[in-house]
Each structure stands twice: as structure tokens, then as C-alpha cells.
Amino acid sequence: MTKPYKKIMITGAAGRLGTELRRGLAPLADTLLLADMVEVKDLQANEEGIVFDLGDEEATMAAIEGCDAIVHMGGAPHERPWQEVLDSNIRGSYHIFEGARKHGVKRVIYASSVHAIGYHRLGDHIPCDAKPRPDSLYGVSKCFVESLASLYHDKFGIESACVRIFSSFPEPADRRMLWSWLSFDDCCRLFSACLTAPYLGATITAGMSDNKVKPVDMTNGGHVGFRPQDSSEPYREAMEAKTDPADPGDPSTQHIGGWFVNLGHPDDEEGK
């Protein structure tokens, strides 16, 4: 049977989620092009590897040629000093979209983050495509790419999904993840759905498993066709046994960005 794509590039392919997606997206393309700053190991028959820095425009462009979809997981994965956020997340993502434009890529699926909207409150029941309200420079860079994706769809016709991933880990790692957790399997389901949805436009959606507590309204992501099948419930008892309840007065309890809202400015932290 014909696969929907010939070659999908996965950036950040050596990372935590990139590794999972190698498995999850294999059915969707003849070839997965695994891109990272470091060499990706254990290449399978359907995989090719490539090493470059997203900040290197020419290398990024060259890598994209021949791909018909990009799953863009690369760049700094959490709060970092401005210069790093600028180079890897802002400039790097611009290179991705420019590459997509110049080489006729059909869809770009981007790992945005809850931290693009981290200062919204848990009780707000925001829609999954709520307005930007970043909780960090990292979050600001995610907002930047979301607006870039909007432009590249409206003006250049490139379909995209910016997936605001909440907390994708092997299992819930703290109390907050009892509601924010996205299992690896659900993460794969979500990115697959984005690549195969009948209409994508410039979608902004969110990624959480089917956890009991649901502070985000997913209605606006209904056209993507993501149906989470995992839940944090099996982990609840153990997590509650070993951790204290959240402090209701702590900003990290009140906002969906969690402890990111309590971080200082990264350049201060770095002693800059």
C-alpha cells in the first residue's frame, strides 16, 4: 500500500520524543530522515541520518530538499539563555519554514509547547488554540513559530500543526503530570493524526493524554482526529503517595505552565 509521504524529516530525532516518533511515524513514509545536531544511532532500513545545526541556514535548506513533510522537534527543549533560544528556536525554525517553502514541503508539524500559553490559569478552561501567554523565553520562541506557521499557511499555502505538548515523558513525573501527561503512544498518535488529517490549515492544538483532569478544551482541535488512549490514572496512587498536594497559593499550581512560571530570567541564572 502506498504510504502518504515519501520522505518525512524529523528534526531533533535523537531527543526523547524524536526517538519515539521514529517508531510511531514509520508507517507514514517510505523514508524517515533523522536530523539532529548529534548522530542518530541504530538507523533502521527505512531511516536515513543527517547531522546539522538548525542555526545553519544552508545546511537546513539542503537537508529539506526531497522531503514532503517535516516533523520539527529540534531546538532547545526548555528554558535557555536568550542567545540559544534565538539561534536554535527562532532562527532555526525560520530556516525550517523557508526550507519547506522553497522545496515544496506539504506539511510541517511543529513541537510547540504548553509554555507558549503557560500563564493561562487552570480554571480558565482555555481552548487548545488559546492566545499566546508565554511563561519563558522558550515559550516566546514557541509563540514566534506559531505565528510564522500562520503566515506560511496564509501566504504560501503550507499546511502546519503547532502541537502544544504538555508533558510527554515515559510516565507522570510529578503531581502536575497527573493532568498534563502525554504518553509516548499518545504522542505518536497525535503526530500521526496531524500528518494524515484531511484538512490542517494552520492548526494550533494541544497534546495531553485522556487524563481524568481536563483543564483544556480540545474542541478546536477536533479536525485533527487525535483520540488519546492512555491515562495517568494508573500512576495516580503511587504519585500521591510519594508527593505532597500542590500548594493552592503557589503560582505554579494556578497556571498551566507549572514551575516554568516560577523561573527567573535565564540570563540571570546564567550569571550573565
Window 226 to 245, contacts with a second copy (CB under 8 A) = 227, 237, 240-241, 245
Smallest Cα–Cα separation from 179: which of 213, 147, 149, 229? 213
- Which residues partner with 69 through β-bridges? 8, 107
Q: Is residue 138 among the annotated active site residues? A: yes
Number of helices and strands in the chain (H, E): 10, 7
**Contact call for residues 96 and 228 (beta carbons, < 8 A):** no
Position 163 contacts a second copy (CB under 8 A): no
**DSSP-assigned states of every residue in 105-139:** --EEEEEEEGGGSTTSBGGG--BTTPPP--SSHHH
In the chain, the largest separation of any two C-alpha atoms, in whole Å, equals 56
Shortest approach of a second copy to residue 39 CB, angstroms?
30
16 CB burial (10 A radius; 0-12, 13-18, 19+): middle
Which of 201, 235, 239, 259: binder of a second copy (CB under 8 A)?
201
Position 30 contacts a second copy (CB under 8 A): no
Position 134 contacts a second copy (CB under 8 A): yes
Smallest Cα–Cα separation from 192: which of 4, 2, 1? 4
Total residues at interface with a second copy (CB under 8 A): 77
Position 200 contacts a second copy (CB under 8 A): yes
Position 77 contacts a second copy (CB under 8 A): no
Position 248 contacts a second copy (CB under 8 A): yes
Window contacting a second copy (CB under 8 A); options: 17-25, 37-45, 165-173, 176-184: 176-184
Helices of type H across 131-183: 137-154, 177-180
Which of 78, 156, 170, 234: binder of a second copy (CB under 8 A)?
156
C-alpha cell at 95: 530556516
Shortest approach of a second copy to residue 36 CB, angstroms?
24
Question: Angle, to 10 degrees, between the axis of helix 137-154 and the axis of helix 92-102?
Answer: 10
Window contacting a second copy (CB under 8 A); options: 16-24, 41-49, 69-77, 217-225: 217-225
Helices of type H across 158-214: 177-180, 184-196
Shortest approach of a second copy to residue 168 CB, angstroms?
19
Which of 19, 175, 187, 207: binder of a second copy (CB under 8 A)?
175
Which residue of the set 5, 94, 110, 138 is catalytic?
138
Shortest approach of a second copy to residue 35 CB, angstroms?
21
Give the C-alpha separation, 119 to 251, whole Å. Answer: 9
Shortest approach of a second copy to residue 42 CB, angstroms?
29
Give the C-alpha separation, 72 to 21, whole Å. Answer: 11
Shortest approach of a second copy to residue 191 CB, angstroms?
15
C-alpha cell at 179: 493532568
Nearer to a second copy, 44 or 147 (CB): 147
Position 68 contacts a second copy (CB under 8 A): no
Binding residues for a second copy restricted to 90-129, rule: CB under 8 A: 90-91, 94, 98, 101, 106, 116, 119, 121-123, 125, 129
Q: What residues act catalytically?
A: 138
